[in-house]
């Protein structure tokens, strides 16, 4: 998900202004305070899809006060207010990495609302997203926006190297990455694959080609299992072959974007929505040459999966237990989760969480990778279940993955050590 950034103090000023804004507007009708990231407000009120919230406001005679923050400050404010006796927050958007079991004590379970006033065709929302915000069999949030990982490839570099199309398996992917690591005809050195570092989310996305996990949904640490070790071994081999940048362990998402935009990498693995960035003629020297598709799975898994079950990150809507407008908040969530609202938001640039949205001809026309993304969403899952020590586990993963890639430890030893370290966090 490529999020726009907003300065913390500007976001804080907007948020602290909410009670005043609500007071000013309350004379005109009911008001709902929605705390979110700016990108979520933008896709809710855009040009192509229009004002997605209009149906809610018309049906309920209510206005919406948006308070927007960057990701960290948003969750700090939301969790802090949700811990008080009462809150100015009616609806909170939560990123999946923050949706830890803590939400069960601070946010309203939604099952009673789903029974009395259900969201239409709820099973149309991709199940992997719903599962990630369900705790102890209870639903605590409703997905709204996703970013799913796919494969981007430069078809011009492929042609220069005699490669006819995207890889059909992870084994072929590795071969192509090595083949495309060379100087291009214009003298530009290129690598076969660009990966934005070896943080857990990036490595796990790659490792899903073998259906690997770091920690399973039932909180078992399986980092030293054969699939994960195979993935780290493959990254190590690509590093040794020069098929990934020498400064791989220090790379960021912005670096990977630059390498693709300047034609210095044949393939990248990132959010499928990056297709627009890579093909923007104002920002990319490779515009018109980057194609996007699903990431391939290991040959041995082709009977189980058609595409790799790569990682997905997503935003969901939740109601604080101390919200003063719970019923109205549910009506907002129900509307924003409707098929009509999902389509409007998608036309405004949102990652749709409903399977049926991908049937619309306008989506198919706007997103050349739409059907591949749909296939990915059907099997993808979050890279790590949310839990209170997740940040420390992520740090441990990065340390051990770097040791494996740089040859300081074997991949098996690194993952054995990681497993022991993280198991201690879960005791």
User: Between 71-82 and 8-16, two packed helices, what is the crossing angle to 10 degrees?
Assistant: 30
243 and 294 together in one domain? yes
Identify the residue whose tokens are 């195979």: 230
Report the 10 Å Cβ neighbour count for 256.
23
DSSP sequence for 204-255: HHHHGGGT--SB-TT--B-TTSHHHHHHHHHHHHHHHTT-S-TTGGG--HHH
| The pLDDT of residue 25 | 38
Pull the structure tokens for residue 45: 């009120």
188 and 284 together in one domain? yes
264 and 410 together in one domain? yes
240 and 326 together in one domain? no
140 and 153 together in one domain? no
275 and 114 Cβ atoms separated by less than 8 Å:
no
Judge whether 1 lies within some domain.
no
How big is the CA angle at 94 (ends 93 and 98), to the nearest 5 degrees? Answer: 165
CATH number of 299's domain = 3.40.190.10
| The pLDDT of residue 387 | 87
Pull the structure tokens for residue 219: 């909180």
* Distance from C-alpha of 226 to C-alpha of 98, rounded to nearest angstrom: 29
175 and 259 together in one domain? yes
Give residue 194's domain range: 149-310+386-425
Judge whether 87 lies within some domain.
yes
Domains: count for the chain: 2
Judge whether 3 lies within some domain.
no
| The pLDDT of residue 23 | 36
| The pLDDT of residue 386 | 85
364 and 399 together in one domain? no
> What is the four-CA torsion angle of 198, 200, 206, 212, rounded to 10 degrees?
140
Pull the structure tokens for residue 353: 């969480």
184 and 107 together in one domain? no
Which residues neighbour 121 within 8 Å (Cβ) at sequence distance 6 or greater?
339, 354, 356
| The pLDDT of residue 388 | 84
| The pLDDT of residue 371 | 96
165 and 266 together in one domain? yes
97 and 175 together in one domain? no
191 and 232 together in one domain? yes
Distance (Å) of CA 169 to CA 109, 155, 244: 41, 17, 19
Smallest Cα–Cα separation from 139: which of 154, 123, 153? 123
Q: What is the pLDDT along the chain (427 residues), one digit of tens a residue?
A: 333 323 322 333 333 334 333 333 333 468 999 999 999 999 999 889 999 999 999 999 999 999 999 999 999 999 999 999 999 999 999 999 999 888 899 999 999 999 999 999 999 999 999 999 999 999 999 999 999 999 999 999 999 999 999 999 999 999 999 999 999 999 999 999 999 999 999 999 999 999 999 999 889 999 999 999 999 999 999 999 999 999 999 999 999 999 999 999 999 999 999 999 999 999 999 999 999 999 999 999 999 999 999 999 999 999 999 999 999 999 999 999 999 999 999 999 999 999 999 999 999 999 999 999 999 999 999 999 888 899 899 999 999 999 999 999 999 999 999 999 999 999 8
Judge whether 392 lies within some domain.
yes
| The pLDDT of residue 427 | 86
The separation between the first and the last C-alpha atoms of the chain, rounded to the nearest angstrom, is 33
Judge whether 2 lies within some domain.
no
183 and 301 together in one domain? yes
Judge whether 251 lies within some domain.
yes
* Distance from C-alpha of 29 to C-alpha of 46, rounded to nearest angstrom: 24
Distance (Å) of CA 205 to CA 2, 154, 296, 380: 17, 20, 11, 10
* Distance from C-alpha of 142 to C-alpha of 179, rounded to nearest angstrom: 44
């Amino acid at each position: 998900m490529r999020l726009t950034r907003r300065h913390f103090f500007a976001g804080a000023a907007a948020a602290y202004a909410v009670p005043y804004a609500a007071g000013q507007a309350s004379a005109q009708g009911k008001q709902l305070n929605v705390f979110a990231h700016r990108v979520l407000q933008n896709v809710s009120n855009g040009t192509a899809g229009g004002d997605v919230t209009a149906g809610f406001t018309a049906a309920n005679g209510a206005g919406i006060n948006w308070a927007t923050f960057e990701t960290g400050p948003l969750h700090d404010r939301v969790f802090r207010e949700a811990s008080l006796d009462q809150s100015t927050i009616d609806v909170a958007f939560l990123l999946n990495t923050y949706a830890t079991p803590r939400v069960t004590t601070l946010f309203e379970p939604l099952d009673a609302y789903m029974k009395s006033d259900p969201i239409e065709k709820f099973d149309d929302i991709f199940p992997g997203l719903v599962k990630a915000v369900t705790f102890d069999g209870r639903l605590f949030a409703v997905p709204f926006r996703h970013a799913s990982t796919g494969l981007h490839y430069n078809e011009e570099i492929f042609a220069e190297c005699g490669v006819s199309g995207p890889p059909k398996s992870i084994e072929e992917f590795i071969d192509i990455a090595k083949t495309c690591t060379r100087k291009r005809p214009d003298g530009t050195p290129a690598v076969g694959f660009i990966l934005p570092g070896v943080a857990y989310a990036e490595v796990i996305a790659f490792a899903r080609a073998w259906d690997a996990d770091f920690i399973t949904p039932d909180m078992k640490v399986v980092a030293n299992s054969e699939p994960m070790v195979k993935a780290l071994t493959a990254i190590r081999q690509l590093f040794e072959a020069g098929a990934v940048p020498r400064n791989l362990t220090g790379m960021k998402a912005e670096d990977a974007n630059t390498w693709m935009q300047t034609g210095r990498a044949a393939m990248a693995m990132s959010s499928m929505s990056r297709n627009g960035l890579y093909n923007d003629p104002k920002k990319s020297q490779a515009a018109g040459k980057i194609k996007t598709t699903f990431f391939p799975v290991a040959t041995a898994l082709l009977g189980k999966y058609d595409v790799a079950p790569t990682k997905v990150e997503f935003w969901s809507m939740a109601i604080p237990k101390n919200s003063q407008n719970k019923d109205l908040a549910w009506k907002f969530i129900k509307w924003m989760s409707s098929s009509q609202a999902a389509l409007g938001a998608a036309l405004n640039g949102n990652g749709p969480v409903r399977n049926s949205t991908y049937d619309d001809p306008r989506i198919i026309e706007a997103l050349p990778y739409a059907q591949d993304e749909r296939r990915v969403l059907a099997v993808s899952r979050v890279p790590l279940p949310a839990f209170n020590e997740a940040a420390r586990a992520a740090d441990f993963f990065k340390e051990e993955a770097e040791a494996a890639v740089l040859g300081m430890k074997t991949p098996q030893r690194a993952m054995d050590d990681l497993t022991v370290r993280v198991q201690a966090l879960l005791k």
